[in-house]
Amino acid sequence: MNGILVIDKPKGMTSQQVVGRVKKILGVKKVGHTGTLDPDVDGVLPLCIGQATRLAEYLLDQSKAYAAELTLGYSTDTQDASGEIVERVAHVSVTEAEIRAAFDKFCGEIEQVPPAFSALKINGRRAYDLARQGERVALPPRRVTIYELAITELELDCELPRVRFRVECSKGTYVRTLCHDIGQTLGIPAHMSRLTRTRSGPFTLQMAHSLDVIGQAAAEGRIADYLLPPSVAVADFPCYVVTDRQARRVFNGLEMSFSAAGQERETGERIRLESASGQLLAIYRVVDSDGQTIRTKPEKVFNA
């Protein structure tokens, strides 16, 4: 069994627990997720099944989109609603104009310090393990990109004002840190109170299915109806269709050359090779292009 299964992850489960549940439902050993979602976060969690697990790294590199809620009035050690309160104000006074001005400052490429309670490693240990033990966690800042940041709803006439928004961002972006930092810009402690991932790479919430639906489909022998082909994970890679004779070269891990007529390919660019029937055979990388011929070498070859 090979392909991509898009799960609508429920709140209250870790991403690894979802993987374990799907392994049991499908009766397979090779299942991997493509980007951790915290237990309190729901939404799109693509799972790679079988040989498709080798495509997970490409999905990790792709952008993500979320529907989020920021609450003003107090901040927490985890920067979300699950943490311990570390700062609180008795009264919040803020205008819509001030909030919109603060949001505008976080569009584009920004510098972000990952939260102490994160899965990042420090000298081989998870940051959240160190933080839970009371150790000081100092993670270096990194550059991330916010492609879109749009306020969808404001709830300001209450004790703890809330801002609901959607965000599209690069890999490695922490939305809870974004909420915390927006609060810092406003001079008001803040935390992320809700988060739903609405898209991961090419996979959207509309494509996602609950674990109950997947379980029922598997029990009825209809799981193929929900399994997407591996090629969907790398649909943004240029596609080259090869003949059966060329496919034998591919499966032997040999270099492949293609006509460059009407196509410009950069050295290092990835392409995908498919059979005439649409089966993903391999991922190749361009090593040279002289304007007439594109020469490529294999990066990942999938079994016939």
State which H helix or E strand residue 295 sits in.
strand 293-301
Kindly list the distances between the CA atom of residue 150 and the CA atoms of 97, 145, 163, 168, in Å, as whole numbers in the listed order: 14, 14, 10, 9
Distance between CA 298 and CA 280 in Å, rounded? 13
Is the separation of the CB atoms in 233 and 55 below 8 Å? yes
List helix spans (H) across the chain. 15-26, 56-60, 96-104, 127-132, 175-186, 211-219, 244-251
Query: In whole angstroms, how large is the CA radius of gyration of the chain?
Result: 22
Interior/surface letters 12-48, b for 16+ CB within 10 angstroms, e for the rest? ebebeebbebbeebbeeeebbbbbebbebbbbbbbbb
Write phi, then psi, for 214 (nearest 5 degrees).
-65, -40
Is the separation of the CB atoms in 115 and 227 below 8 Å? no
Distance between CA 192 and CA 200 in Å, rounded? 20
Active site residue 38: yes
What is the SS3 assignment for 138?
coil
Token duo for residue 56: 């997970």
Q: Which of 38, 42, 80, 181 is catalytic?
A: 38
Distance between CA 192 and CA 115 in Å, rounded? 12
Which positions are catalytic?
38
